[in-house]
């Protein structure tokens, strides 16, 4: 039976740019002592350029994974030391800058009216559109997942498997959704994908992902993308930690040590799934879904049936981050601060630039003809494709 939340979903939801995930430092479960030597970069003749438009620094992530977020005509970004900024999208000028009085664990959430940041101790600080603090609330547990602000609700996902919905204007608790604790799960942020102001889609431990209503925290649907395999608890880890992606009405997700699959956003029913392992998530074009595995092999699958279209192994062990499919290319950063561009059609490397020397784990953002990139070192810049 279709719920009210499903019926209210727009017929064409588009590709969402609100992301949430972290880069995980993983040791091979086999216990192998083999050195993961990053591939040497081969020469690339750029078929297009990413021309710098502006850049600024917001402060270092210091081991955490901070994503910028775009709301309206502004970019919001943060650093581990508590620097929270609003940046004019067109010029790169800082509109306001706030100092959160505690260390932060994740980047901000914002709808352009209320901007929130979460501390390492689980305190949510909220600011209005002038940068003035309007409330703070403790959720009582560590938070590693980016908050989402949508539909007048701030959604915070705590490490103890609680989802908490707070009123965006007052911080008053509106609802709580509790997930059962798993015997063993990855201690990382779980990305939440907001679809309009109606629902979020997010992954769970145990290879499952689902849709939650923003207004009341109700579970709309839940679907397994993979199942535990192996004998030890470590071998059976297959959490869906990375952000799901969506294009049109097709939703795709991938689990660590599990599977990648795509299905209908309204129902969660999978059209296909294949064995695959990734902690950097998926991105989509109209007819393909892209992901990078833990070796940094980049792969494209057909969204209609899961047929592998191509695989590029040039970036092996370079610890690539989350990807962005935009236009005819696929963009992603690596641990040495490079941004790589692949042809969506055949996986050929078509361009490369150096953003800075620190890791780029957050997905680039395409907005207003610009590509936004933030590194873990704190440099955020806008580029114009030429």
Q: Which two tokens stand for residue 105?
A: 């664990």
**Are 252 and 261 within 8 A, CB to CB?**
yes
Nearest to 20 by CA among 365, 368, 379: 365
Q: Which two tokens stand for residue 282?
A: 């998926």
pLDDT level of residue 83 (50, 70, 90 thresholds): very high
The length of the chain in residues reads 386
pTM to 2 decimal places: 0.87
Which residue do the tokens 């899961």 mark?
306
Nearest to 262 by CA among 239, 286, 246: 246
d(CA 201, CA 293): 21
pLDDT at 235: 55
Per the rule left: phi > 0, alpha: psi between -120 and 50, beta: everything else, 7 is alpha
pLDDT digits (tens, 9 = 90+) for 127-167: 999 999 999 999 998 898 999 999 999 999 998 889 999 99
Give the end-to-end CA distance of the chain in Å, rounded to a whole number.
48
- Does 237 score more than 60 pLDDT? no
C-alpha radius of gyration, the chain, whole number = 19
């Amino acid at each position: 039976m279709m719920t009210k939340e499903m019926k209210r979903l727009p017929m064409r939801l588009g590709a969402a740019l609100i992301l949430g995930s972290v880069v995980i430092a993983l040791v091979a479960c086999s216990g192998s002592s083999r050195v993961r030597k990053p591939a040497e970069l081969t020469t690339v003749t750029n078929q297009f350029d990413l021309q710098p438009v502006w850049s600024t620094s917001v402060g270092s992530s210091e081991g955490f994974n901070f994503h910028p977020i775009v709301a309206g005509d502004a970019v919001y970004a943060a650093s581990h030391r508590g620097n929270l900024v609003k940046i004019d999208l067109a010029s790169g000028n800082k509109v306001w800058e706030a100092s959160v009085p505690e260390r932060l664990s994740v980047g901000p959430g914002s709808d352009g009216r209320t901007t929130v940041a979460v501390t390492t101790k689980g305190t949510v600080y909220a600011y209005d559109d002038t940068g003035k603090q309007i409330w703070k609330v403790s959720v009582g547990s560590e938070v590693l997942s980016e908050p989402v602000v949508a539909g007048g609700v701030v959604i915070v996902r705590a490490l103890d498997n609680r989802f908490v919905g707070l009123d965006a204007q007052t911080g008053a608790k509106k609802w709580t959704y509790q997930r059962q604790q798993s015997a063993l799960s990855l201690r990382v942020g779980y990305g939440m994908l907001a679809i309009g102001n109606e629902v979020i889609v997010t992954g769970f431990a145990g290879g499952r992902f689902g849709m939650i209503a923003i207004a009341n925290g109700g579970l709309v649907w839940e679907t397994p993308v993979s199942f535990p395999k192996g004998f030890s608890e470590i071998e059976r880890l297959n959490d869906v930690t990375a952000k799901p992606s969506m294009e049109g009405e097709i939703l795709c997700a991938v689990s660590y040590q599990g599977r990648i699959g795509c299905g209908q956003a309204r129902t969660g029913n999978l059209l296909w799934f294949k064995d695959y392992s990734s902690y950097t998530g998926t991105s989509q074009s109209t007819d393909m879904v892209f992901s990078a595995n833990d070796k940094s092999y980049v792969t494209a699958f057909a969204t209609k049936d899961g047929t592998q279209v191509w695989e590029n192994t040039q970036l092996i062990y370079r610890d690539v981050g989350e990807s962005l499919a935009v236009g005819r290319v696929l963009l992603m950063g690596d641990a040495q601060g490079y941004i790589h561009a692949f042809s969506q059609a055949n996986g050929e490397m078509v361009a490369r630039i150096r953003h800075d020397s620190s890791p780029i784990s957050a997905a680039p953002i395409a907005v207003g003809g610009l590509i936004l990139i933030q590194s873990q070192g704190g440099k955020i810049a806008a580029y114009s494709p030429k």
